[in-house]
Amino acid sequence: MSGLPDIQIGPFKRAQGSIVLPGSKSISNRALLLAALSTGTTTLRNLLDADDTQVMRNALRQLGLSVTDQANHVCVVEGCGGQFPVRQADLFMGNAGTAIRPLTAALAMQGGNYRLSGVARMHERPIRDLVDGLRQVGAKIDYELQEGYPPIQISAADIHIKDVVKVRGDVSSQFLTALLMALPLVAQDPVRIEVVGELISRPYIDITLKLMARFGVNVACPDAQSFVIPAKTSNAVYGSPGQLSVEGDASSASYFLALGAIGGGPVRVLGVGNDSIQGDVAFADALALMGANISAGEDWIEVTGVKNANGKLNGITIDCTEIPDAAMTLAVAALFAEGPTRLNNIASWRVKETDRIAAMAKELRKVGAIVEEGVDYIVVNAPASSSHWQSPSEGIDTYDDHRMAMCFSLAAFGPGALKINDPNCVAKTFPTYFAEFAKVVN
């Protein structure tokens, strides 16, 4: 999404203040769909108001549901008891993976005819593993253009679950999330889902399971690769909890926590903390490994500079399987570290809003970093000295990827000003990011 002109920021020396985080995208879109599928009325508080959640809300409205936005990030959803009123629709899903994947699975259970499409990049993001899983239970789903990718056409079909449902877990955890949320709608008997291969981003599955439990469906986990969905006890599977408050977005917190380390702090984020159900709060642990001073409470985290006498972070090697989104922030924080920073197990970056490994490597090199990239890793060495830093006249490209724009705002703490191209791509998850950023830097 574009609209705002390119912006020039920095150079900055200090970061200090506090930020109230927008609602978590991952929780918001899961909660919207679960509220829609449940019986009763659900009031969602602190719901993220951004492109990705608007995509989900608009799709639910097209499907015949009452989804009412109120003041102060409150949204009221009238549930449909598991059966969408509209049985034929053409839904535009933008580039929202957290919307198209779970909604595809839920629609496949409806016995209707639906088409789902998105922006050009969405048509390059894989959905085959989810479709394969749904076809195992009788769903009829066809690819419109390229095999394995949207747009897709869902046709009415009889769903019968006879055997264990298997799904790959090494491309995106959203495929498993989608099956977990949808299969309870048709589970006449207990349903076992088995993950084939490695399950990446397990903390996102934990978010799914905890939210499903809030809506009355408790999934058993007999081992790390298996999930057992209980049999239906009534036609309406999910029941509304009445109200649900959405945590602040832990991925968005990572930029401000990094600012607290790079810019001296203290910088405090409000809305996530020790009680968070989001895996990306572990970013604070990674930042601590780099030498940052971290403190936290139930719903806040604060960073005050670094422990090292030279005021710099130190490079680390870290497995990023469980923090794939927040790990991007580590790559840019590495510009302010002594020694190399190696981020391992980030293959999922390549199938996100852009190929994030390639994009990150290219843009880091623009500012003077020495970068090595592989299929599933990246190694970042900071510019050797201030004279090696560069302020590229062509600016930092953001690839219509919100996280590229937000991550590279940190590079404005280098010795020169920095131009960010197409900053409005942050509207996907954090429309006010640069305004909030400006409040804590100088």
Task: Tell me which DSSP letter residue 215 carries.
Answer: T
- Distance, in Å, from the CA atom of 352 to the CA atom of 350, rounded to the nearest integer, reads 6
Give the predicted TM-score (pTM) of the model.
Answer: 0.94
- Distance, in Å, from the CA atom of 309 to the CA atom of 432, rounded to the nearest integer, reads 35
Which phi and psi (to 5°) does residue 227 adopt? -140, 130
Is residue 325 annotated as part of the catalytic site, yes or no? yes
Instruction: State residue 234's pLDDT score.
Output: 82
Instruction: State residue 1's pLDDT score.
Output: 34
Nearest to 258 by CA among 371, 407, 436: 407
Q: Is 400 left (phi over 0), alpha (psi -120 to 50) or beta?
A: left
Instruction: State residue 2's pLDDT score.
Output: 39
- Distance, in Å, from the CA atom of 310 to the CA atom of 337, rounded to the nearest integer, reads 10
- Distance, in Å, from the CA atom of 47 to the CA atom of 248, rounded to the nearest integer, reads 9
Q: Distance from CA of residue 339 to its chain's centroid?
A: 29
- Distance, in Å, from the CA atom of 37 to the CA atom of 288, rounded to the nearest integer, reads 40
Q: Which of 52, 325, 401, 422 is catalytic?
A: 325
E-strand ranges in 28-100 read 41-45, 67-70, 74-78, 88-92
Nearest to 61 by CA among 30, 38, 84, 28: 84
SS3 414: coil
Instruction: State residue 162's pLDDT score.
Output: 85
- Distance, in Å, from the CA atom of 426 to the CA atom of 50, rounded to the nearest integer, reads 9
Instruction: State residue 5's pLDDT score.
Output: 82
pLDDT in tens, 159-217: 999 889 999 999 999 999 999 999 999 999 999 999 999 999 999 999 999 999 999 99
Instruction: State residue 4's pLDDT score.
Output: 61
Residues (pLDDT < 50) of the chain are: 1-3
- Distance, in Å, from the CA atom of 172 to the CA atom of 325, rounded to the nearest integer, reads 12
Q: What is the per-residue DSSP string for 345-396?
A: S-GGGGGSSS-HHHHHHHHHHHTT-EEEE-SSEEEEE--SSGGG----TT-B
Which phi and psi (to 5°) does residue 77 adopt? -115, 125
Instruction: State residue 163's pLDDT score.
Output: 84
Structural domains in the chain plus CATH codes: 7-18+249-440 (3.65.10.10), 26-228 (3.65.10.10)
271, 299 contact by CB (below 8 A):
yes
